[in-house]
Structures are given as C-alpha cells and as structure tokens.
Amino acid sequence: MEYSELIKNRYTVRDFKPDAIPQDALEKILTAGQIAPTACNKQPQQIYIVSKPELIEKMRGITQCAYNAPVILILAGRKSEAWVNPFDNKDSTETDVSIVATHMMLEAANLNIGSTWVGWADLERIKKEFELPSDVTVYGLLNLGYASDASVPAPQHSDRKPLNETVSEL
Ligand SMILES: Cc1cc2nc3c(=O)[nH]c(=O)nc-3n(C[C@H](O)[C@H](O)[C@H](O)COP(=O)(O)O)c2cc1C
C-alpha cells in the first residue's frame, strides 16, 4: 500500500480477533522497530513480548486498555543507554522508544495487523508484576492483533485540528 494511504487508513484498534499473529509477521514488526532512528543511534529501547495466555490475563488485570489483544508489547527503555542532551541534560529514551513504537505500529498496519498504543496504565506496576529489570523504564504498551469484524475507528479518529492550529510559519 502507498505510504500516504497506509497512514490515512491506520486507526486505533480496540477490539481484536483471538487469532495469534504469525511469527514471521511479528518478526517483521519487531524488525521495523529495530531499524527506527534513535538519538546518536544509541538504541536504548527494550521491547518485551507478552503473548502467553497467563501473562495476557495478568496484563488485562492491570489495565483495561489491554482490551482483548492476543499480543502486547511492553514499550520500555534503558535511560542509562540513551543519548543525553548536554544543554538540558534530558535523556532521549522516551523519544527513541516512541519512534520505535511508531515504526512497529505502521509496519503492523502494513501487514493488516491492528494496534493500540496504550499509555493509560500503571506503568510502574507493569514493571513490577512482569519482573522487568530494575534499570528499565516502561513508557507504554502496543497491543497487536487482527481487528475484529466489528472493529471501527472511534469518532475521534477523524477529529484532527486544522493545520493552522498546530503549524506556524515563523
Ligand atoms: C501516547 C499515546 C497514548 C495512548 N493511550 C491510549 C490508551 O491508553 N488507550 C487507548 O484506547 N488508546 C490510547 N491511545 C490511542 C489514541 O487515543 C488515538 O491514537 C487517538 O484517539 C487518535 O485515534 P486514531 O489512532 O484512531 O487515529 C494512545 C495514543 C498515544 C499516541
């Protein structure tokens, strides 16, 4: 699909078929994240795959935004591995992880696999309950799976501010 069509057609999926994602499709999605740009190419991202039934159940107990996705990626990173801007001392981990996640989300769409980017969750609790290493920070989740036949974009999908409210010529 044309890139401009792909980004127009993508929408946040919140109702999934129970079908698993084929392994080769999951690998393509993860590889799309691997080739994402990161500041100074430091690649601080850590992506954890949650697909075992008991772990999916655990995630559904922590956040209602796991919905009924058959695969959930935990989007995390190691601040100690990220580039730090010397002017303000801010590390780029969250930005880097967000770009990695965007690459994965769009590759999923390219493979006709739906996704939900989830920020509404107790991310510290996820880190604790999934026993992630102490030096990683969790930034969100990316639910993955085939959209159910009933799935449609939410009304806010087509609600975008006009460009003149978000872009200015200086
Ligand atoms: C950082 C971020 C966090 C989000 N968190 C959630 C969430 O917790 N639950 C959810 O259902 N959707 C979540 N979304 C999806 C947005 O609500 C969605 O992208 C937005 O409403 C536009 O709709 P669209 O993706 O269908 O175009 C999140 C998206 C982003 C980028």
Ligand 1 centre and the CA of 116: distance in Å?
7
Ligand 1 centre and the CA of 51: distance in Å?
21
CATH number at residue 135: 3.40.109.10
Ligand 1 centre and the CA of 121: distance in Å?
12
Q: What is the pLDDT of residues 86-105, one digit of tens each?
A: 999 999 999 999 999 999 99
Pocket of ligand 1 (CB under 6 A): 11-12, 14, 65, 116-120, 153-154, 156-157
Cβ neighbour number for residue 34 with a 10 Å cutoff = 14
16 vs 114: CA distance, rounded Å: 8
Q: What is the pLDDT of residues 109-124, one digit of tens each?
A: 999 999 999 999 999 9
The domain in which residue 76 lies consists of 16-148
Q: Output the CA–CA distances (angstroms, integers) from residue 139 to 22, 97, 162, in the order listed.
A: 26, 8, 28
Instruction: Evaluate whether residue 115 is within a structural domain.
Output: yes
Ligand 1 centre and the CA of 19: distance in Å?
22
For residue 29, give the nearest of 157, 145, 152 by alpha carbon: 145
DSSP 3-state of 121: coil
pLDDT at 1: 76
Q: How confident is the model at residue 142 (pLDDT cuts 50, 70, 90)?
A: very high
Instruction: Evaluate whether residue 105 is within a structural domain.
Output: yes
Task: Name the closest-CA residue to atom 19, ligand 1.
Answer: 12
Q: What is the tally of structural domains in the chain? A: 1
